Structure 1
Amino acid sequence: MEKIRDLVFKDSPATDDHFETKTEFGASDVQALNLSISKSNEFDPITTNGALDEVIADDGYAAVHVEDDSPYPEVRSAVPSTDDPSLPQNTIRMVVIGFILTTIGSGMNLLFSLHSPSLTISTYVTSILAYPIGRAWEKIVPNWTVFGLPLNPGPFNLKEHAIVTIMGSVSFGGGTAYATDILLAQNQFYKSDFGIGYSLCMILSTQLIGLSMGGLARKFLVEPSSAIWPANLVTSTFLTNMHINENHPANGWRISRLKFFSVVFICSFIWYFFPGYIFQFFSYLCWCVYIKPSNIVVNQIFGASTGLGLLQPTLDWNQVSGYIGSPLIPNATVMWTVLASIVIIFWIITPILYYKNVWYSRSFPISSSDSYDRFGQDYDVSKIVNVDTLTFDKTAYREYSPLFLSTTFAISYGLSFASTTATIVHTILFHGKDIVRQFKSEEKPDVHLRLVRKSYREVPWWWYFILFLISFALSIATIRAWPTEMPVWGLIVALIIAGVFLLPVGIIYSQTNIAVGLNVISELIVGYMIPGKPLCMMLFKTFLYITNNQAVLFAQDMKLGQYMHISPVTTFVAQALATVWSCFVQLGVLRWAYGAIDNLCDQHQASGYTCPNGRVFFNALIIWGVIGPKLSYSAGQIYHNLTYFFLIGAVLPVIIWAIRKKYSKFPLINTPVFWSATGYIPPANCFNYFNYSLVGLIFGFFIKKRYFAWWSKYNYSLSAGLDIGLAWLMLMIFLCLNLTNAKFPTWWGNSVIETPDYLGTAISDPIPSGGSVGPSLW
């Protein structure tokens, strides 16, 4: 047993009162430990990898104490393992505060989405607002009885606060309902309006069908302890900081988590005023570019806007987390994978493709989210489309130009193709047995699931099934009661594909906080399956991609309810009511904006309400729904070789799995993360991802390894403070400056960033006036 003792204590950082670690044990080790446990007659056998707290010599045997907590240190550091079922949850106070903040958040997010630049109010903004409102209610409102319920049931507690947070998350936490972009593109750009009834059916069906599918999959995405949902750990830390705030020293630090969070929040709030407004140099510390500002190659390799951002730092938290989320959330394995993806794909392969002029890339920026014509200008879709009928004019297309993309944009489509097949194959190989075991209910529930089951009634599966049937009926009504040109079988195909990918996408997201998006594959499928019908393309994409995405996000909030030990029935009702209400609110604000804002969606709208999301959606509608993928990705077309990524994505997980079967110490490379983690490039940049992985490795690898107690106590408080401080100041800047069209200060600290990289003119072979590039026939 000395070997076991060494295994337990090797590199195990000490906390204040016990040793704590998370180590993977081989079968022989677990067998030896179980033998020891059985002889001690004191502890339960170890059935899964767990946290070993102490090893005690007793009559010649080593007894292992297994703490009744999550086997994952990330969860133990953020989520309390005890519950107080007496705390009131479903209170009038919670309902009122939840619906007020849901109304404000949903309405403001919809309005902000119409503006350029746009802004999304995150759940953190309203969650921090809920606390003082709840405390004020606690002290001011009399404790009268209304409908048999107390109006003021005592202190505003953790569970009420968590439910309000969940309501905000499902209603506007990810921004506006995706269907509003469809309506905006259809009503304002397509100039077609089927009325309020159509709009309401579309929004309700696309939102609620995701909730129903997430609930039906909760056995696999919510209940297992391995479904960590890392983003919930930050939310849980923030909530417990507000209400529990237990304090103990950690590596010499004695400040409480609440005070630490408060200091970080204030500093983050104040600091972002500099890189975000007054001194943008701090946001783009591209020192190589500033030394050689006129050198095109330097701009392309080291630039942070349309370049590759090679090894360039930043002091702007928005640049680090703005596209991908906080790097303090995923584990170190994810960070190493992201960094490997950046280095291999974007810092090695992409420059080779660009400078070899593959896809005629040298005539365009190396990294840009714009699409171009053969003359080097932005692609003008009006030249190939009959504006009245929105039908494709193939003759005009032959006379005008094929579609050209920047190198990173083209690569991003290939990565999306690879991530689709990699997700399925990886899940079968590495998680297939876990899914089967969970289906057979063989996996032992962790402490949080046991506490919830002990005190509260579970939601019957048929509740979600009934909700699915209602949503499905609304979906059919949406596509058949109005002339959408989408067949019912197309809707069924979209939902089947969304369901097939639900577990693979959900499992990967729940463990890595990296989302595998199905937006590109949905466009590709419908472009081949139902070509030339743009509105059908938008609906198909929504029912496939957004249904899957919504189901995953709803499951994430169900897990937060489990972490906070909330009644599953209360969680279900809160999610459903907040979702339905937010649909009405967003549709109301959208229809109000049509009449109240002059020249809405015009590119030169006086107040900046140019509808950037709707415009992007409309362009995608033209590219995928009108032109179609056949003219870009079929044999003989410019980007046909990107389809090989489907095969590469499927093969790589098999290779990794086979190597690990023979060499168990070979690192587990999460291939879906490798392909999909960089999915926001462009418009994000390698510059953003490099700083993201750098910060993530500093805290999730080096600090976690050397100062585990500090990391365990403060890591998620640090993340919450940085995120919330940034969100609040961005909101202030947006309301006070952007909406009033105030200009940024003109001085060196802001003008120094205006390099060829920033202006999008860092092009190796710019097309001369009157010239063109590309094939002779297309």
Structure 2
Amino acid sequence: MSRAKFFLIALICSFSWYLVPGYLFTTLTSISWVCWVFSKSVTAQQIGSGMRGLGLGALTLDWSAVASFLSSPLVSPFFSIVNVFAGYFLIVYIAIPIGYWALDLYGARRFPIFSSHLFTAQGQVYNISAIVNDKFELNLSNYEEQGRIHLSMLFSLTYGFGFATIASTLTHVALFYGREIYERYRASYKGKEDIHTKLMKRYKDIPSWWFYMLLVVTMAVSLALCIFLNNQVQMPWWGLLFAAAMAFTFTLPISIITATTNQTPGLNIITEYAMGLIYPGRPIANVCFKTFGYMSMSQAVSFLSDFKLGHYMKIPPRSMFLVQFIGTILAGTINLAVAWWLLTSITNICQDELLPTDSPWTCPGDRVFFDASVIWGLVGPRRIFGPLGNYEAMNWFFLGGAIGPVIVWLLHKSFPKHSWIPLINLPVLLGATAMMPPATPVNYNAWIIVGTIFNFFIFRYRKQWWQRYNYILSAALDAGVAFMGVLLYFSVGMEGKGLTWWGTDGEHCPLAQCPTAKGIVVDGCPLN
């Protein structure tokens, strides 16, 4: 069968099937059968819920749940999937249960085991609006009256392992790729050209001044925003330069991790942390700094990835540049317009406490982004992860993350015949749950299972099929879901028409969000 025919068949199947989990039977997105068996047990639902618990045994028949947060598992190498699985198992099924049930770290039982919300010491959702003044800065008196901010067990550990991921990225790349980086840098001036580079010589290269001019213009516009719209942006001009310097510093090591594992560690935590220490009490400034620092690096990695693909596919470099440039302008404009339209047309959008349980407008990713602006910008890391907060011990993760790759490297040097040792990639392992929340255990369960099937069993026993159709299948599944998702939105979503029956009433784990500490009163939860 030709690749084009296979793609078309897989696209039609994906498109047709997504009607079921996307509209007719939405419970298939998270089949949390443990909750169905133990319908009155808080602990069992905390363990079994794929969306709000640890997801033990939770499965999905929805491709969007498989590939929405971690990208397609069909295009990740198997050793990378193993690293993600090891980190996921370590954090979700060892660290969190021990911290929550065995040790009750930071009074974790007073809060849900899996939540991106911020809480008071009494287990109630923190009232953020009460601690913000008219200038979007911290109202210290109201903050002290309401008390310190508390995090769920998963949210706090996710930040801790995020600290370790950033530190391990630098040491891992320095130890395992430092010599190669230096040699490649020298070879770029006097080394022999490979066949791909020779073939690309047929096309006109991109003039360097295109890049320099684009950099100068964008920096000038950004500086103008920081200076002349400072009341809205809040970020000082030096913050922009600092963010650009951080993005420049981390682009190379993170690009290497991405190129070898298909997993990209994020700079979001370290950018938020740095700006929160330097410029606390200003959430908008923190968000802007995070965007210029983290997203600049992320887009640079994506830009390099596309140019690498174009290099192998022999696409003219100037055409690639123009497509990237025009696509960025179009995507940014359309995204802004759609976001503005949604915010002005949908009542209570992103406020999950005011929306019905089956609403698609809970915005889990934006919820995490908002809470991060409160933690790092409004309240500041000194009152969360510093001497004035509850989670100061989490800073030890920085040291652990920096030391970890050193241990792996020493083991590799001591036992060079064991080829599996250098495959232990701690930036990927420690950062396995970086997308949680908003990603949930059911996303990880499905991603690991599907990735293992296609990248180990099928590659091992049906290698020719894998080489011919694997990436085509991944693209077809993504496209089918996307087309049906758009069709569902414009046909029934905009009109608010939906089905109401057991199969569209969520995953049926209402008790998974309940605390287990005695005396904590939460609506809809049994009193312990």
- Normalization by structure 2: what TM-score? 0.89
Kept in 2, the 8 Å contact 1:284–1:314? The answer is: yes
1:568 and 2:322 aligned: no
Question: Following TM superposition, by how much is the alpha carbon of 1:751 offset from its aligned partner in structure 2, in angstroms?
Answer: 3.9
Distance 1:719 1:770 in 2: 43
Q: Secondary structure at the match of 1:377?
A: coil
Aligned to 1:761: 513
Query: Which shows bigger deviation, 522-531 or 400-409?
Result: 400-409
Question: Following TM superposition, by how much is the alpha carbon of 1:581 offset from its aligned partner in structure 2, in angstroms?
Answer: 4.5
Question: Following TM superposition, by how much is the alpha carbon of 1:636 offset from its aligned partner in structure 2, in angstroms?
Answer: 5.7
Kept in 2, the 8 Å contact 1:656–1:669? The answer is: yes
For the structure 1 residues 684 and 334, does the alpha-carbon distance in structure 2 shift closer, same or farther, using more than 3 Å as the test? Answer: same
CA displacement, residues 46-95 of structure 1 (integer Å, 9 cap, x when unaligned): xxxxxxxxxxxxxxxxxxxxxxxxxxxxxxxxxxxxxxxxxxxxxxxxxx
Kept in 1, the 8 Å contact 2:277–2:380? The answer is: yes
CA displacement, residues 191-226 of structure 1 (integer Å, 9 cap, x when unaligned): xxxxxxxxxxxxxxxxxxxxxxxxxxxxxxxxxxxx
For the structure 1 residues 426 and 614, does the alpha-carbon distance in structure 2 shift closer, same or farther, using more than 3 Å as the test? Answer: closer
Distance 1:635 1:508 in 2: 33
For the structure 1 residues 517 and 689, does the alpha-carbon distance in structure 2 shift closer, same or farther, using more than 3 Å as the test? Answer: same
Distance 2:437 2:355 in 1: 26
Q: CA RMSD in A?
A: 2.7
Kept in 2, the 8 Å contact 1:420–1:518? The answer is: yes
Distance 1:346 1:602 in 2: 26
Aligned to 2:503: 749
For the structure 1 residues 566 and 282, does the alpha-carbon distance in structure 2 shift closer, same or farther, using more than 3 Å as the test? Answer: same
How do residues 165-564 of structure 1 correspond to structure 2 at under 5 angstroms?
255-355=1-101, 356-386=103-133, 388-441=134-187, 446-453=194-201, 455-483=202-230, 484-564=233-313
Question: Which amino acid letter does the alignment assign opposite residue 424 of structure 1?
Answer: L
Question: Following TM superposition, by how much is the alpha carbon of 1:585 offset from its aligned partner in structure 2, in angstroms?
Answer: 5.0
CA displacement, residues 432-469 of structure 1 (integer Å, 9 cap, x when unaligned): 1221122112565554333212x112223343123212
Question: Following TM superposition, by how much is the alpha carbon of 1:710 offset from its aligned partner in structure 2, in angstroms?
Answer: 1.2
Kept in 1, the 8 Å contact 2:120–2:147? The answer is: yes
Kept in 2, the 8 Å contact 1:381–1:619? The answer is: no
1:701 and 2:453 aligned: no
Q: Secondary structure at the match of 1:404?
A: coil
For the structure 1 residues 752 and 309, does the alpha-carbon distance in structure 2 shift closer, same or farther, using more than 3 Å as the test? Answer: same
1:724 and 2:476 aligned: no
Distance 1:683 1:582 in 2: 23
Distance 1:266 1:585 in 2: 27
Kept in 2, the 8 Å contact 1:392–1:626? The answer is: yes
Q: Secondary structure at the match of 1:405?
A: coil
Question: Following TM superposition, by how much is the alpha carbon of 1:618 offset from its aligned partner in structure 2, in angstroms?
Answer: 4.6
Q: Which runs of 5+ in 1 are unaligned?
A: 1-254, 772-778
Question: Following TM superposition, by how much is the alpha carbon of 1:278 offset from its aligned partner in structure 2, in angstroms?
Answer: 1.4
Distance 1:602 1:358 in 2: 30
Question: Following TM superposition, by how much is the alpha carbon of 1:538 offset from its aligned partner in structure 2, in angstroms?
Answer: 2.2
Kept in 2, the 8 Å contact 1:375–1:767? The answer is: no
Distance 1:600 1:286 in 2: 28
Identity over aligned residues, as a percent? 36
Kept in 1, the 8 Å contact 2:34–2:57? The answer is: no
Query: Which shows bigger deviation, 652-661 or 582-591?
Result: 582-591
For the structure 1 residues 625 and 696, does the alpha-carbon distance in structure 2 shift closer, same or farther, using more than 3 Å as the test? Answer: same
Distance 1:321 1:770 in 2: 34
For the structure 1 residues 699 and 617, does the alpha-carbon distance in structure 2 shift closer, same or farther, using more than 3 Å as the test? Answer: closer
Kept in 1, the 8 Å contact 2:117–2:151? The answer is: yes
For the structure 1 residues 652 and 611, does the alpha-carbon distance in structure 2 shift closer, same or farther, using more than 3 Å as the test? Answer: closer
Query: Which shows bigger deviation, 585-594 or 432-441?
Result: 585-594
Question: Following TM superposition, by how much is the alpha carbon of 1:423 offset from its aligned partner in structure 2, in angstroms?
Answer: 0.9
For the structure 1 residues 277 and 649, does the alpha-carbon distance in structure 2 shift closer, same or farther, using more than 3 Å as the test? Answer: same
Distance 1:726 1:581 in 2: 22
Question: Which amino acid letter does the alignment assign opposite residue 383 of structure 2?
Answer: L
Distance 1:588 1:727 in 2: 19
CA displacement, residues 721-763 of structure 1 (integer Å, 9 cap, x when unaligned): 21111111122222223222123x2333334732235xx4343
Distance 2:127 2:346 in 1: 25
Q: Which runs of 5+ in 2 are unaligned?
A: 524-528
Kept in 1, the 8 Å contact 2:172–2:405? The answer is: yes
Question: Which amino acid letter does the alignment assign opposite residue 435 of structure 1?
Answer: I
Kept in 2, the 8 Å contact 1:422–1:652? The answer is: yes
Distance 1:319 1:333 in 2: 22
Question: Which amino acid letter does the alignment assign opposite residue 747 of structure 1?
Answer: W
Tell me which structure has the larger Cα radius of gyration.
1
CA displacement, residues 481-540 of structure 1 (integer Å, 9 cap, x when unaligned): 222443332222111111100001111112222111111211111010111233322221
Kept in 1, the 8 Å contact 2:36–2:508? The answer is: no
Kept in 1, the 8 Å contact 2:77–2:262? The answer is: no
Distance 1:584 1:314 in 2: 34
Kept in 2, the 8 Å contact 1:600–1:611? The answer is: no
CA displacement, residues 218-265 of structure 1 (integer Å, 9 cap, x when unaligned): xxxxxxxxxxxxxxxxxxxxxxxxxxxxxxxxxxxxx22222222211
Aligned to 1:647: 399
1:660 and 2:412 aligned: yes
Question: Following TM superposition, by how much is the alpha carbon of 1:627 offset from its aligned partner in structure 2, in angstroms?
Answer: 0.9
Q: Secondary structure at the match of 1:508?
A: helix
Matched residue count? 511
Kept in 1, the 8 Å contact 2:368–2:437? The answer is: no
Kept in 2, the 8 Å contact 1:372–1:403? The answer is: yes
Kept in 1, the 8 Å contact 2:130–2:142? The answer is: yes
Aligned to 1:670: 425
Distance 1:644 1:742 in 2: 50
Question: Following TM superposition, by how much is the alpha carbon of 1:571 offset from its aligned partner in structure 2, in angstroms?
Answer: 1.3
Kept in 1, the 8 Å contact 2:275–2:286? The answer is: yes
For the structure 1 residues 593 and 683, does the alpha-carbon distance in structure 2 shift closer, same or farther, using more than 3 Å as the test? Answer: closer
Determine which structure has greater relative contact order: mean sequence separation of CA pairs < 8 Å that are 6+ residues apart, divided by chain length. 2
Kept in 1, the 8 Å contact 2:307–2:320? The answer is: yes
Question: Which amino acid letter does the alignment assign opposite residue 406 of structure 1?
Answer: S
Query: Which shows bigger deviation, 702-711 or 372-381?
Result: 372-381
Kept in 1, the 8 Å contact 2:110–2:520? The answer is: no
Aligned to 2:526: none
1:685 and 2:440 aligned: yes
Tell me which protein shows more helix as a share of its residues. 2
For the structure 1 residues 591 and 267, does the alpha-carbon distance in structure 2 shift closer, same or farther, using more than 3 Å as the test? Answer: closer
Question: Following TM superposition, by how much is the alpha carbon of 1:648 offset from its aligned partner in structure 2, in angstroms?
Answer: 0.9
CA displacement, residues 377-429 of structure 1 (integer Å, 9 cap, x when unaligned): 2211122222x222222222121122121111111111211111111111111
Question: Which amino acid letter does the alignment assign opposite residue 410 of structure 2?
Answer: A
For the structure 1 residues 462 and 658, does the alpha-carbon distance in structure 2 shift closer, same or farther, using more than 3 Å as the test? Answer: farther
Q: Secondary structure at the match of 1:391?
A: coil
CA displacement, residues 308-358 of structure 1 (integer Å, 9 cap, x when unaligned): 112433222122112111110110000110110111121111100011210
Question: Which amino acid letter does the alignment assign opposite residue 143 of structure 2?
Answer: Y
